[in-house]
Amino acid sequence: MIFSTLERILTHISFSVVSIGITIYLITFLVDEIIGLYASSERGMTATAFCLTGLLITRWVYSRHFPLSDLYESLIFLSWSFSIIHKIFDFKNNQNHLSAITAPSAFFTQGFATSGFLTKMHQSRILVPALQVQWLMMHVSMMVLGYAALLCGSLLSTALLVITFRKVIGLFLKRKNFVNVNGSFCFSEIQYMNEKKNVFLNSFSARNYYRSQVIQQLDRWSYRIISLGFIFLTTGILSGAVWANEAWGSYWNWDPKETWAFITWTIFGIYLHTRTNTKWEGVNSAIVASMGFFIIWICYFGVNLLGIGLHSYGSFN
Amino acid sequence: MGTLKPPTLPTRTHILKAPLLHSTFNPQLHTLFNRCITLSSTISCKLRTSQDVKKKKDNVSKKIVFSDSSPPSLKNDEVSGEVESKSGVIGLVKRLPRRVLAALSNLPLAIGEMAAIAALMALGTAIEQGEAPDFYFQKYPEDNPVFGFFTWRWILTLGFDHMFSSPIFLGLLVMMGLSLMACTYTTQIPLVKVARRWSFLHSAEAIRKQEFSDTLPRASIQDLGVILMGAGYEVFLKGPSLYAFKGLVGRFAPIGVHLAMLLIMAGGTLSATGSFRGSVTVPQGLNFVVGDVLGPNGFLSTSTDAFSTEVHVNKFYMDYYDSGEVKQFHSDLSLFDIGGKEVMRKTISVNDPLRYGGITIYQTDWSFSALQVLKNDEGPFNLAMAPLKVNGDKKLFGTFLPLGDVNSPNVKGISMLARDLQSIVIYDQEGKFTGVRRPNSKLPIDIDGTKIVIVDAIGSTGLDLKTDPGVPIVYAGFGALMLTTCISFLSHTQIWALQDGTSVIIGGKTNRAKAEFPDDMNRLLDRVPELVESSLSKQSDGISG
């Protein structure tokens, strides 16, 4: 009883802290860069990470098994993974774009997990015989960590695509405007216009430079974090295979969840291969990674939604 | 020439490269690069622009810098995908394997194969697998095709009803394997050979061209070397030049990943062609011979002596939670060899199989075999239990004990139902609920004068048996894959530096950790001590003198 109360308290604290943190993020992003506010939102993320850790430990203690046996728990774990990734990269260097991805991701997964949609799953349940083994800890935690890292990386790639395309659109629009404006002014004002144009072009190229810097940063960070996620995913799939050989009698069963995990692995394998060709870095690899984003969600949710196959533990019922 | 250089020295020096002088008077360089017979030396001198003139005197000491002709030409040694076409049939035949290799190691092809495999797998989860043809006739009718064209004809012709063993899918996997081999042979191994060949860079220009470059105005290259060594770099120092690298193993690792994949594929093939499988449901107390259950999977499956082993199910039981749900299944098995000697005894459960002589026995299922009852203290009778409804994991078994005249057309009796081996629900002749009894509770239940005692519930264990010669190979592949994937995360970093008077020019590049690299480098360079004047003059003496 005390445990469930504690759990509820921790859930609410972490959720509200995260939502406050997001609001602060948005304010600093949209209105102005206020350093004090930014620091407080960082503190909020730390608090969230601690709350989620506490939540998971509480659940672990009172259900006496590693809290990764159903969808609700894995969502909490995913949210925890996001906050941990956030903290690690925040610790490593202060200025990066990853925090803009991880914080909202943690918020949304946490929000989804605690929303009314999944309320009846909050009760921790007993484990079916096949799950009562240490492999559960290894396999599922690695998979969810992998999902978290890959989601971050593919979101960074999506951000890269958005920025690139906005650049193209923006360039197009500005040229058009410029021609129009230029045509409408009379001849005597050309001198003045030329001056203006110079100023405009200067500021524009500076912005372009900044943009390309951002794109390069996004590209590199998404590569790095996807590589990390790929390691987790590989470990998760392989440990799952070894476990399956112990429990189900075969290391590979072409179960839907397995197959989709393998598809995810293949897609990110393709991503890593596109990186070996310098011509394809940037936009092309970002497209692959963005596809990977959807495939992870199919793997994580879609298969459970259908509730088919041997991985039916995490389904919606 | 121990004069101090003014700190306002421009970081950019203009270097004239003139490969005019063929010098042979630098023995050190010759031992290092013995493949270059004539070193083309470069005379680097500063272009005298108006603001540079005043510093002219200071730069005399390093006016002539001998350097290797160019930054290491990595590209030369790479086996390029293109093969020059040579006339002549013999040449063509000779070149054919290389041509095939080149085609297979083509990166777009490999990516296409991976994408195709992924797409087929997705399709394989979307289409129901292993159903009878009738199912597909109904689900994908010709008059109402999915997406306007996809009908059962496609599925059955292409073998998509058994996707993961269909010729198309397996063919793609084989292609993938060939591509892996070709790519490892033609691209990866030469790349490593190139990466291992390390060299000093002797021109400031070449160093500045690297992805990261910086100039420390008052520093010594020895200090830099020590700091790099502390950061885990292999450092080579020769005169004014420094070369350092880290994480070379990260260059090897992708080869390992590919080889591990090949190992897994080989193991998987062996599993698919050389294994035996079978499953059996055995009531407690009975036995079976392993060889009778196992059926060969492929043409490489060969039986062993262990197949004559007889398995006796000593006991089958379940553990329950307090809430009554099943916690674990256990089967106590004894193995007897052909002479009737017990060779092994183990209690298996889910996640804890028995292994003997290459045979693995898994606990996978269970069933209710029989109910032992006493009727009016007669018996015990064994009543066979029949599965009534199998709805997901919820099992229901039932049996019927006739009362009165068994030969009459509408015989009546007692029905007994059970979900597990724990409790039996008993209904009377009219179908009314009478009570619940646990086996071996010895508590009788009275139904219209008939006294029933449930003595025991006999379960039967569902076992899966297999032999799989591919498992050791696959596991080796798994281990290798895990290790090499982790190592692949390491980034191969190379750093060059050159002592240029009192300043040190540093350049570096890395192949994976490009995002962190500038920060890491700056952090390292911050730790390089700045030389104070007294030691500075000594330092410059040492360099120029």
Nearest CA in chain A to B482: A235
The full set of domain ranges for chain A reads 1-127, 131-317
Nearest CA in chain A to B322: A126
Question: Taking CB atoms and an 8 Å cutoff, what residues of chain A touch B360?
Answer: 249
CA-based end-to-end distance of chain A:
24
Nearest CA in chain A to B355: A246
H helices of B238-384, in order, are: 249-274, 290-293
**Domains, chain B:** 22-72+197-247+491-544 (3.30.310), 89-193 (no CATH), 276-467 (no CATH)
Instruction: Tell me the count of A-B CB pairs closer than 8 A.
Output: 112
From first to last of its 545 residues, chain B has per-residue pLDDT tens of: 333 444 433 433 343 333 333 433 343 433 333 333 333 333 333 333 333 333 333 433 333 333 333 333 333 333 343 444 445 666 767 777 778 888 777 888 889 999 999 999 998 888 888 888 888 888 888 777 777 777 788 888 888 888 888 889 999 999 999 998 888 888 888 877 877 777 788 888 888 888 888 888 888 888 899 999 999 898 988 888 899 988 888 888 889 999 999 999 999 999 888 888 888 988 888 889 888 888 888 787 787 888 888 999 998 888 888 777 778 889 999 999 888 888 989 999 888 899 988 889 998 888 888 888 887 777 778 888 887 765 555 678 888 887 766 677 777 778 888 877 778 888 887 778 888 888 777 777 877 777 888 888 888 888 989 888 889 999 999 999 999 999 999 998 999 998 888 888 999 988 888 888 888 888 888 888 888 765 555 555 444 43
Question: Taking CB atoms and an 8 Å cutoff, what residues of chain A touch B121?
Answer: 259-260, 262-263, 266
Between positions 44 and 103 of A, the ones with CB within 8 A of B are 92-93
**What three-state secondary structure class fits B334?**
strand
- Enumerate residues 6+ apart whose C-beta is below 8 A from A144: A68, A74, A77, A78, A81
In chain A, % helix, strand, coil (3-state, to 5) comes to 85, 0, 15
Q: Give which of B271, B251, B273 is closest to B263, Cα–Cα.
A: B271
Interchain contact, A273 vs B475, CB within 8 Å: no
Per residue in A286-297, pLDDT (tens digit) is 999 999 999 999
Distance CA A257, CA A311 (A): 6
Interchain contact, B329 vs A267, CB within 8 Å: no
Nearest CA in chain A to B323: A126
Residue length, chain A? 317
Residues in a beta bridge with B505: B215, B498
* B78 touches A: beta carbon within 8 Å: no
Interchain contact, A130 vs B350, CB within 8 Å: yes
Question: Taking CB atoms and an 8 Å cutoff, what residues of chain A touch B117?
Answer: 266
The single-letter code of the amino acid at A268 is F
Which candidate from A132, A238, A260 shows the least CB-CB separation from B351?
A132
pLDDT number for residue A275 = 86
Per residue in A92-103, pLDDT (tens digit) is 765 556 777 777
Interchain contact, B364 vs A92, CB within 8 Å: no
The single-letter code of the amino acid at B398 is G
Which candidate from B114, B129, B478 shows the least CB-CB separation from A269?
B114
User: In this structure, are residues B501 and B543 in contact, taking their beta carbons and an 8 Å threshold?
Assistant: yes
Which own/partner pairs from B164-173 qualify as long-range (CB within 8 Å, at least 24 positions apart)?
Answer: B164/A254, B164/B121, B164/B124, B164/B129, B165/B272, B168/B120, B169/B117, B169/B120, B169/B124, B172/B113, B172/B116, B172/B117, B172/B120, B173/B117, B173/B265
Between positions 328 and 387 of B, the ones with CB within 8 A of A are 328-329, 349-353, 360, 362, 364
**Count of CB atoms within 10 A of residue A194's CB?**
11
Distance CA B84, CA B82 (A): 6
* A126 touches B: beta carbon within 8 Å: yes
* B47 touches A: beta carbon within 8 Å: no
From first to last of its 317 residues, chain A has per-residue pLDDT tens of: 677 777 778 777 777 877 777 777 777 666 655 666 667 777 777 888 888 888 888 888 877 777 777 778 888 888 888 888 888 877 776 555 677 777 778 878 877 777 655 555 556 566 677 777 778 888 989 999 999 999 999 998 988 888 888 766 666 555 555 444 444 433 334 444 445 555 555 555 666 777 777 788 888 888 989 999 999 999 999 999 998 888 888 888 888 888 999 999 999 999 999 988 777 777 888 999 999 999 999 888 877 777 666 676 655 54
Between positions 105 and 124 of B, the ones with CB within 8 A of A are 107, 110-111, 114-115, 117-118, 121-122, 124
How large is the angle between the packed helices A98-114 and A71-92, nearest 10 degrees? Answer: 160
Between positions 228 and 287 of B, the ones with CB within 8 A of A are 268, 271, 277
Distance CA B279, CA A196 (A): 83
B398, B404, B407, B410: CA torsion to nearest 10: -60
| Predicted TM-score (pTM) of this structure | 0.78
